[in-house]
Amino acid sequence: MELMYRTNFGEAYCGDSLDLLDSLEDNSINLVMTSPPFDLLRQKSYGNLNGEEYIEWLTQFAYKVKNKLTDDGSFVLDLGGAYQRGVPVRNLYNYKVLIKFVEEVGFHLAEEFFWYNSSKLPSPIEWVNKRKIRAKDSVNTVWWFSKSEFPKADVRNVLVEYSDRMKKLLKDGEKYYDPKERPSGHNISAGFNKDNGGAIPSNLLQIPNSESNSQYLKYCKSVGVKGHPARFPAKLPEFFIKFLTDPDDVVLDIFGGSNTTGQTAEQLGRRWLSCDLDKEFVAISSFRFATSEDEARNFYTRLMNDEVVNINEYRLL
């Protein structure tokens, strides 16, 4: 394991996350939020396995994660969908991972989430674009695993804005709402027009992944390097960090990529750890904490020359 850079809140490492997990104290991590390479047929630049080999590979991380989580900690895993080779039939790997983590590793499935990415391009090309026999795949499964049956969670931290209709009800409930008994027999009139600061979110997370002109990509272009090809939007880790942790808790991303998780945790006042096998990906992830193109270029040069960069101390020089 190689420490590459640190901030006041976190540290980014290059190396095998299994080694990082071994170095951590048991019961010391509040949330592991990550998106590993998916089980895809086409080989990606950042590496990926497939089939049963993939599931066994991912499971070895799950065992170690479980030991490192606090008793009320959570493990949130984002997995994209895939098809079987050569036929328009879905690969069940993400569901096999779910069952294996629960029945073998001993996690609880606290809740399943589905991330709808409205900006995702139509795929797979063969079945969607060419033959036009399947709809485009635009939903990822996001499994919320917990170490115990009652993990730390507070949905009040992730309330969403009320609809226009609900805002009218809150303003003048008698004018806009005439309560009637529902088909189920429930009467929902009592306390219905109470303003709780927002609506309870659903487990369908509608978050477009349409980053094109972010600071991260701007600095990548300036330095002349390619950004990580599989970045998730900040609002995805933001939701779970707010939902499942408190300020000063520790958030870990074991497949750090461009370190969206670390940047988001830092902005929310959580401590963080991030790890990735690819040295250049870790180096350019420092751009998320840079304040200028010159600073980003300086970070990259020093990190690729095996210097450890303390970003906050650097700004005091």
Catalytic residue list? 35-36, 78
Nearest CA-CA partner of 148 in 208, 192, 108, 102: 108
CA distances from 133 to 104, 128, 130 (A): 37, 6, 8
Q: In sequence order, which residues have a C-beta less than 8 Å from that of residue 167 and are 6 or more positions away? A: none
Note whether 263 and 287 are within 8 A (CB): no
Nearest CA-CA partner of 81 in 128, 133, 142: 142
What is the rounded distance in angstroms from the CA atom of residue 314 to the CA atom of residue 317?
Answer: 5
Cis before residue 233, ω within 30 degrees of 0?
no
What is the rounded distance in angstroms from the CA atom of residue 243 to the CA atom of residue 125?
Answer: 36
CA distances from 214 to 144, 227, 234, 260, 280 (A): 28, 11, 11, 12, 19
DSSP tag of 103: I
Note whether 14 and 282 are within 8 A (CB): yes
Across the chain, the runs of DSSP E, i.e. the strands, are 2-6, 10-14, 29-34, 69-79, 108-116, 139-146, 204-206, 250-253, 271-276, 309-310
Nearest CA-CA partner of 144 in 245, 10, 39: 245
Which two tokens mark 35?
Answer: 């998106």
